[in-house]
Amino acid sequence: MSRYAGLLLAAGGGRRVGGPKALLRQGGRTLVERGLGVLREADCAPVVVVLGAAADEVRREADLGDATVVVNGEWTSGLGSSVRAGLAALAGTAAEAVVVLPVDMPGVSAAAVRRVAALPYPDALVCASYAGRRDHPMLLGRRHWPGISTLAKVDVGARPYLLAHRSEVVDVSVDGVATDADIDTPADAVLWGVTIPAPRRPLPDEAAPPGHAA
């Protein structure tokens, strides 16, 4: 078992892009399959994936392999609830840290994850840096999980905790092995060669609140 786990956040409904981001396809694979592949290639173990919108469809359409699947019933509240659900699922493991990766960042490579996870210690707080811009993937040491879960709100995930502990955060450049682009609009999808599934009628509990972009 690796000292660091992987956490793929794939619960959002993708309201602006036109469908659940987990089900978007690039090169014949869904983005959730791609993200899990990146974490596994970077030796994350165990790997947890948090689903929400169209969770049953994702399970049918995507090969999730040996990933631990968590369904976030509160996914419409934003990214924070998925972070909390993922960390809760890892609480019973021996992982000393976790690499967190959103499903909609197809420019992140296994090499970038390995750079961020080079110091997989319980006290670590590490963020990928793109030309000085801080973004995912992030390495969150186990000691910080309770505090992150407490402060993780709506669509900002671990950000409030990182801001409160900015002196402890280490930025690691991933320039040259990753980009921080995300798939948030149909134009982004075209740029990255990502196809959007045919529109589906949402279930009554799947309506994302205004401004929710996950």
Scanning the structure block, which residue is given the tokens 């609480």? 91
* CA torsion through residues 131, 33, 202, 17, sign: positive
Q: List residues bridging with 51 in a β-sheet.
A: 10, 71
The overall average pLDDT reported for the chain is 91
Give the residue extent of every domain in the chain. 4-193
Q: Given this model, what pLDDT does residue 200 score?
A: 56
Q: Given this model, what pLDDT does residue 210 score?
A: 37
CA atoms in the 13 A half-sphere facing the CB of 176: 3
Scanning the structure block, which residue is given the tokens 């991933």? 174
Q: Which of 44-53, 148-157, 198-207 has the highest mean pLDDT?
A: 44-53
pLDDT digits (tens, 9 = 90+) for 102-127: 999 999 999 999 999 999 999 999 99
pLDDT digits (tens, 9 = 90+) for 55-85: 999 999 999 999 999 999 999 998 999 999 9
Q: What is the end-to-end Cα distance of the chain in Å, rounded?
A: 30
Which CATH number is 4-193 given?
A: 3.90.550.10
3-state secondary structure at position 6: strand
- What are the angstrom distances between the C-alpha of 32 and each of 20, 82, 105? 10, 15, 10
Bond before 210 cis per omega within 30 degrees: no
- pTM confidence score: 0.91
Q: Given this model, what pLDDT does residue 213 score?
A: 38
